[in-house]
Amino acid sequence: MQQAKHKQHPQTATTVPAVPAPVIAVRKSCNPDGIGLSHYVLMDKKAAK
Amino acid sequence: MTVAVSSRGDAAPPFIHMDIGHDVYAAVTDPNTAFWALVDKTRIHEEIAGGSLLDGYRTKADSFARELHALRFELKPSGVYLNPTERCNLNCTYCYLPGEQRSGGSHMPAEILNASLGKLRDYFRSVMPEGRKPRAIFHGAEPLMNKEAVFSAIDAFSDDFVFGLQTNGTLLDDAAMEFLTSRNVSIGLSLDGPFAGITDATRQTWGGKSVHDKVLAAMEKLKGYGSWSVITTCTTENLPYLTRMVELFHASEVPTCMLNTVRCTLPGARGVKPADGDMSKAFFAAMDRTHELYRETGRKLMVANFANILIGILAPTARRLMCDISPCGGGRAFFALAADGGLYPCSEFIGLPRFNGGNLLAAGGVEAALTSAAFQTVTTRDVDTFSPCGDCAIRHFCGSPCPAEAHEMNGGMEKTGAFCEFYKDQVNYALRLIADGKANDYLWDGWDEETETVFNHALN
């Protein structure tokens, strides 16, 4: 098992190994405070025009 | 298909083996912690029986369990859906609000709306960290039917809330557009078809007039704005056209869309409910098309409802929307204010009087509603405690939404929602994307900027 504190995309199209890894298991975590809406409208980006 | 697989030792986690339809990988999950791993199918039994995956997971299982518990049971509300009117100028087939309200209901008076927002501001200040603003989303019926009150409230409380507005788009004239965009209000539109004949099948005025072109005009005006989205409600009427929908949205530079399954809370919606298999086939064809468009143009069209499932797998605490979790966000992460001042766990319940948790402006206000029997019926709905969800490998990636339709359509809170098999298919599709290294193509750039990697296992 490896742990990392830095930002790291688990997968991208350019990082798929030629020989597939036997196991892929990734989990990220953050503080969930301040989120929480239903599927009706997403308010995730800062508005700008 | 799921198969329980025994692991070594008395304290072995209850890994469940899932065939995800991938050539190389199968998945194993510990649903109790929303843990997953993709394992070479030829090595699945030896990997599960013992070794570094199992050992690594054991060191983290308790912290994952605590994290999931906090997400599911310890959040405080941070958002409110505001219904400033009962009226709507459209009569959509699947609306969750009773027709008599939408056709002849009342507006919330401006002074009541302002008093309500004042009380909500005080409540959110009492539960949210300093410096974070709650979300307040004006919502349907059609909020712009009571435009003067809504706009007055947005200006009066601009320092206290981050505002959004979900509208059918038909009343979004140039002045309204200017007002909302100049104040950075998030705007959500609704469009059900790539051309009028399809949209008209489920979304028309009371007099039967098409509104398709008006929504297209609003989309055109919103090009370049940073915070807008379009919802397509997926029904039997538009399912064959979902790929055309995402092509239209991408061409129109829609930054984010939602391809939501129709909510089957009221009987009218159930008449246009697609079968799960049909929904999956059309939905994933549309998702595949968004990826092709991204590869062709370098520009992503986010399908937010699916992105939320994907994020819920990669980073359970980072999910933005709270329908796909149990208990759902209704009545605990957000709640809804009806035009008559009544508080409900979610707008989906506004047509169901038994879920009224009391009046906002009455004594007790929000706190009384949150602890009311009406709210707790929803907030205690826990997929761990009822069948078949309790044995399901993906129950904490899905949450068995929605409690309103489980209650009204399927007969109780301890029933599944309306699209059980579609959710399983979405999780399998998401896991295949992860296996193929494509997951980030379906997510916002920088979606994980505020996360840290707490588990990363890649044996070579």
Q: What are the pLDDT digits (tens) for B188-208?
A: 999 999 999 999 999 999 999
Contact B173, B116 (CB under 8 A): no
Question: For A2, which of B36, B71, B456 is closest by C-beta distance?
Answer: B456
Distance of CA A31 to the CA centre of its chain: 13
Residue B39 domain flag: yes
**B233's tokens:** 């409600």
Is omega for the bond preceding B141 within 30 degrees of 0, making it cis? yes
Tens digit of each residue's pLDDT (9 = 90 or more) over B125-161: 999 999 899 999 999 899 999 999 999 999 999 999 9
| Section B60-77 average pLDDT | 95
Q: Which residues pair with B85 in a beta bridge?
A: B107
Contact A32 B329 (CB under 8 A): no
Provide the whole-model pTM: 0.92
Close Cβ partners of B59 (under 8 Å, ≥ 6 residues apart): A1
Residue B336 domain flag: no
> What pLDDT was estimated at residue A42?
65
Contact A29 B35 (CB under 8 A): no
Amino acid of residue B247? E
Q: How far apart are CA B220 and CA B197, in angstroms?
A: 20
Is omega for the bond preceding B264 within 30 degrees of 0, making it cis? no
Greater confidence (A42 vs B42) lies with B42
> What pLDDT was estimated at residue B49?
81
Confidence category of residue B46, pLDDT binned at 50, 70, 90: confident
Residue B228 domain flag: no
A 2-31 residues with CB below 8 A of B? Answer: 2-17, 19-31
Residue B25 domain flag: yes
Contact B224 A4 (CB under 8 A): no
Residue B306 domain flag: no
> What pLDDT was estimated at residue B45?
85
> What is the domain count for chain A?
1
What is the extent of the structural domain holding A34?
1-49
Interchain contact B158–A (C-beta under 8 A): no
From A18's Cα to the closest Cα of chain B, the distance in A is 11
What is the ipTM metric for this complex?
0.91
Contact B440 A27 (CB under 8 A): no
From A44's Cα to the closest Cα of chain B, the distance in A is 8
Tens digit of each residue's pLDDT (9 = 90 or more) over B360-389: 999 999 999 999 999 999 999 999 999 999
Question: For B135, which of A9, A19, A37 is closest by C-beta distance?
Answer: A37
| Section B229-235 average pLDDT | 97
B 93-112 residues with CB below 8 A of A? Answer: none
Q: Which residues pair with B90 in a beta bridge?
A: B205
Tens digit of each residue's pLDDT (9 = 90 or more) over A10-49: 444 445 556 789 999 999 999 886 677 877 666 655 544 4
Q: Count Cβ atoms below 10 Å from residue B299 Cβ, excluding itself.
A: 10
Contact B330, B343 (CB under 8 A): no
Confidence category of residue B349, pLDDT binned at 50, 70, 90: very high
> What pLDDT was estimated at residue B448?
92
| Section B68-78 average pLDDT | 94
Interchain contact B184–A (C-beta under 8 A): yes
Q: Which residues pair with A27 in a beta bridge?
A: B455
Contact residues on chain A for B440, CB-CB shorter than 8 A: 9, 11-13
> What is the domain count for chain B?
1
Q: Which of B1-15, B171-185, B273-287 has the lowest mean pLDDT?
A: B1-15
| Section B333-356 average pLDDT | 96
> What pLDDT was estimated at residue B12?
60
From B303's Cα to the closest Cα of chain A, the distance in A is 11
Q: Closest chain B residue to A14 measured between Cα atoms?
A: B437
**A17's tokens:** 């190994």
| Section B256-274 average pLDDT | 95
DSSP character at residue B169 = S
Interchain contact B432–A (C-beta under 8 A): no
Residue B317 domain flag: no
The count of CB pairs under 8 A between chains A and B is: 246
> What pLDDT was estimated at residue B202?
97
Q: How far apart are CA B128 and CA B76, in angstroms?
A: 7
Interchain contact B56–A (C-beta under 8 A): yes
Q: What is the number of alpha carbons within 13 Å of residue B194 lying toward its C-beta? A: 15
DSSP character at residue B263 = P
> What pLDDT was estimated at residue A45?
53
> What pLDDT was estimated at residue B165?
96
Contact residues on chain A for B226, CB-CB shorter than 8 A: 45-49
pLDDT at B218 over 60: yes
Contact B70 A32 (CB under 8 A): yes
Interchain contact B443–A (C-beta under 8 A): no
> What pLDDT was estimated at residue A17?
57
> What pLDDT was estimated at residue B320?
86
Per the prediction, chain B carries an average pLDDT of: 94
> What pLDDT was estimated at residue A3?
34
| Section B346-363 average pLDDT | 96
pLDDT at B5 over 50: no
pLDDT at B102 over 70: yes
Residue B28 domain flag: yes
What is the extent of the structural domain holding B21?
2-72
> What pLDDT was estimated at residue A39?
74
Whole-number percent of chain B with pLDDT over 70: 97
Contact B286, B296 (CB under 8 A): no
**B219's tokens:** 């989309």
pLDDT at B41 over 90: yes
Residue B435 domain flag: no
Contact B62, B86 (CB under 8 A): no
